[in-house]
Every structure is written in C-alpha cells, then in structure tokens.
Amino acid sequence: MLGPQCCENPPVLNPLSGSGHVEKLGGLDVYVSGSPDSNKCVLLVSDIYGYEAPNLRALADKVAASGFYVVVPDFFYGDPYDPSHQDRPVPVWIKDHGPDKGFEDTKPVLEAIKNKGIIAIGAAGMCWGGKVVVELSEEELIQAAVLLHPTYVTVDDIKDVKVPIAILGAEDDFLTPPALVKQFEEILASKPEVGSYVKIFPNVSHGWTTRYDINDPEAVKAAEEAHKEMLDWFVTYVK
C-alpha cells in the first residue's frame, strides 16, 4: 500500500516545464519529447504527483536526447495527488486513480504509439507507476521494463514478468524494502529466459529518482546514477 514515503518531497508542478509539448494520445493528455521519426519509444509512468513534475519531464527530455520518442501520460486526468487537500488523503484519492485503471488506460496509448510507426517500446514506472509497468510486462505489451522504487508490486507480479526487467530500489524504502527487492531478484534469477537486473541504491530513500532537490548535488548525483542505469537498460533492449 501507499504510505508516508510515497508523499514526501512533493514537486511543484509546472505545466510549462520541459522542452517537449503536450498533445492527445490514446485519449490521454501526454507530455511528448523527442523525434516523432524515431521507431523506438520509452513510456514514463509517473508517481502519484503526475506528469507535470519538472524533474520527471527533465528525465523524459534526457531519454529523448538518446534517440527515443518519449511519452509521459496524464493518468490522473488533471487530478494528481495534492497533499494540501487534507480531506482527500492518499487512501481516498487512490480510489479514483488505482494502478489497475492506469494499466487499462495505457493500452490505447500504446496502440496510438504503434500507429506512429514505433516498433519497440520500453516502459519505466516510478512508485505508483511501477505497478502499471509490471502489469504491462506480464502481458508482454512492451519490450522492456524498469521499475524505480515501485509500490504495490508483489512477488507474484515478478513471477509473471515476461520481458527484460530492471528493478532499482532504495536502501531506505518502507513501501518496497530491500528485503522484498532481494526476493524479486531471487525470483528473476530463477527465470533465465527473462533478462533482469536488480540493484539497491545505498543512502537514498523512496522517490529519489524524481523527487530530488535540484540544488542538492548529492541528491542530483544519486538520481542521475539511476537514470543512467535505466537508460542503459532501454538502449540494450528497446531497439
């Protein structure tokens, strides 16, 4: 379940952030970055704060610079979690925005992406988005997956993964603690037919890859190390 760590360090949302643009795709508003002529795509599935988070869009632009067409959907229909709404805590908000719904909403987006001539799609999910991405990998709707400090992901989910998957966990994470990430690693090691990579990053907390302080050099460095691992995975398997 979602807990306090899932809500820490909320971003200041900015609909104008990033060097890309927003358009409609598969029925959702999406932030798009990169060349539409690329035949390979990376889908970024946000945490509960949604697709207007500046650090997330900066990551999309970084991935796009490596030759990918990057799509960041607004799975929350303009209604990301807002910690200032104390009468609507996460357990209430999530009833309207469960990851199972996000998974279903992804399907028409993927179809629209393929209609652009894309032949290979990778997906990365942060926190809430990790559950969406693991479900995509179970159904083989993507070619590769990366989970960054995921939430809701279970041992049974990992048992059903069918595409190459990288899992990047945090040393300090009550939602998906290192012990659970180690279980994921053991399961994947027993599935040699599925490429896998699992790493627990030291001295970081849940959310470190997108909800970092851009003025904190150590936080930026830790986030960028994870970004590089993610990008390397997609360069290897999405082509």
**CA 219 vs CA 63, 209, 224, 228, 235: distances in Å:** 19, 9, 9, 14, 24
- For residues 234 and 38, give the distance between their C-alpha atoms in angstroms, rounded to a whole number: 14
Tokens of 224: 């960028």
User: Which pLDDT does position 160 carry in this prediction?
Assistant: 98
H/E element holding 21?
Answer: strand 21-25
pTM (2 decimals)?
0.96
Distance from C-alpha of 237 to C-alpha of 239, rounded to nearest angstrom: 6
Task: Measure the CA–CA gap between 131 and 153, rounded to whole angstroms.
Answer: 5
State the DSSP H helix or E strand holding residue 33, giving kind and residue range, or none if neither: strand 28-33
Of 20, 143, 119, whose CA–CA distance to 73 is shortest?
20
Measured between alpha carbons, how far is 63 from 33 in angstroms, rounded to an integer? Answer: 9
Q: Cα separation of 201 and 218, whole Å?
A: 13
- At how many degrees (to 10) do helices 54-64 and 217-237 cross? 40
The answer to whether residue 123 scores a pLDDT higher than 80 is yes
Predicted confidence at residue 5, as pLDDT, reads: 57
pLDDT digits (tens, 9 = 90+) for 145-188: 999 999 999 999 999 999 999 999 999 999 999 999 999 999 99
- In tens, the pLDDT along 196-232 reads 999 999 999 999 999 999 999 999 999 999 999 999 9
Tell me how far apart the alpha carbons of residues 83 and 80 are, in angstroms, rounded to a whole number: 10
Determine the topology of domain 4-237 in CATH: Rossmann fold (3.40.50)
Share of the chain above pLDDT 70, in %: 97
Q: What is the dihedral of CA 20, 25, 30, 34, to 10 degrees?
A: -30
* Residue 59 backbone phi and psi in degrees, to 5: -65, -40
**What tens digit of pLDDT does each residue of 34-92 get?**
998 999 999 999 999 999 999 999 999 999 999 999 999 999 999 999 999 989 999 99
Distance between CA atoms of residues 57 and 160, nearest Å: 30
Task: Supply the pLDDT for residue 10.
Answer: 87
Evaluate whether 88 touches 124 at the Cβ level (below 8 Å). Answer: no
pLDDT value for 56: 98
| Band of residue 3 on the pLDDT scale cut at 50, 70, 90 | low
